[in-house]
Chains A and B, each alone.
Chain A
Amino acid sequence: MLYYNCTKRFIFARLILIGAVLFVNNASCSTLSDETSGQKNPKNRIEQEIKQDTLNLPNYTRHKNSPTVENLGVALVLSTLIFKKGEPVIVHGAYNLNQQDIRKAEGLPLTRIMLIVVRRDEPDICSHMLQDASNINPMPIQSAQKDDPTYREGGYFNVNAWHMCEFLNKPGKYWIMASIGDYVSNRIEFEIVTK
Chain B
Amino acid sequence: MPTLTLPNYTSCPESPSIEDMGVQIKMTVKSFKQSQPVVLHGAYKINQQLIRRAQGAPLTRIVLLVVRRDELGIWTNVVQDGSNIIPLYIPHGAKDDPKFREGGYFNIDLKQMCELLNQPGKYWVMASMDDYASDRIEFEILTER
Question: 1/0 per residue A177-189: CB within 8 Å of B?
Answer: 0010110100101
Our pick among A104, A120, A129 for the contact of B131 (Cβ within 8 Å) is A120
Contacts of B72 in A (CB 8 A): 112, 114, 129
Closest to B133 in A: A187
Q: Is B70 in contact with A118, judged by CB distance below 8 angstroms?
A: no
CB distance from A100 to the nearest CB of B (A): 11
- Interface residue range, chain B: 20 to 34
B109 at the interface (CB under 8 A from A): no
Contact indicator B128/A104 (Cβ below 8 Å): no
A114 in contact with B74 (CB, 8 Å): yes
Tell me if A147 is interfacial: C-beta within 8 Å of chain B: no
What separation, in Å, do the CA atoms of A121 and B130 have in the docked complex? 5
Whether, in the assembled complex, A125 has its beta carbon less than 8 Å from a beta carbon of chain B, the answer is yes
Number of A interface residues at 8 Å Cβ cutoff, please give it: 19
Which residues of chain A come closer than 8 Å to B131, judged between CB atoms?
A: 120, 173, 189
Question: Max chain B CB contacts within 10 Å: which of A104, A114, A189?
Answer: A114
CB distance from A34 to the nearest CB of B (A): 43
Neighbouring B residues of A121 by C-beta, 8 Å: 53, 130
Residues in B lying within 8 Å of A, measured CB to CB: 53, 60-63, 65, 67, 69-70, 72, 74, 76, 78, 122, 124, 128, 130-131, 133, 136, 138
Residues of B close to A114: CB separation below 8 A: 67, 72, 74
Q: Which residues of B contact A184 (CB under 8 A)?
A: 124, 136
- Is A116 an interface position by the 8 A CB rule? yes
Q: Distance (Å) between the CB of A164 and the closest chain B CB? A: 13
Closest partner residue, chain B, to A129 (CB atom): B72
In contact, B78 and A179 (Cβ under 8 angstroms): no
Contacts of B130 in A (CB 8 A): 120-121
Q: Are B70 and A123 in contact (CB under 8 A)?
A: no
Pairwise interchain contact B67-A120, C-beta atoms closer than 8 A: no
The distance in angstroms between the C-alpha atoms of A179 and B68, with both chains bound, is 10
- If A104-B70, A123-B60 touch, does A175 touch B138 (CB 8 Å cutoff)? no
